[in-house]
Amino acid sequence: MISSFQVSVIKIKAELKSTGLLLQKQMGFNPKTKKNEPNRLYLSKLDVKATDVYLRGEYGQKKPEALATSGTAKNAVNLYKDSKNIDTNTRGAS
pLDDT in tens, 5-53: 888 888 999 999 998 899 999 999 999 999 999 999 999 888 777 777 7
In a domain, 7, yes or no: yes
Question: What's the pLDDT at 57?
Answer: 59
In a domain, 73, yes or no: no
In a domain, 37, yes or no: yes
Question: What's the pLDDT at 31?
Answer: 93
> Shortest CA distance to 17 belongs to which of 5, 25, 27?
25
Question: What's the pLDDT at 49?
Answer: 78
Structural domain span for residue 35 = 1-45
Q: How many folded domains does the chain comprise?
A: 1
- What mean pLDDT comes out for the span 89-94? 60
Q: How far apart are alpha carbons 8 and 15 in whole angstroms?
A: 10
In a domain, 70, yes or no: no
In a domain, 4, yes or no: yes
Q: What string of DSSP letters covers 4-19?
A: HHHHHHHHHHHHHHHT
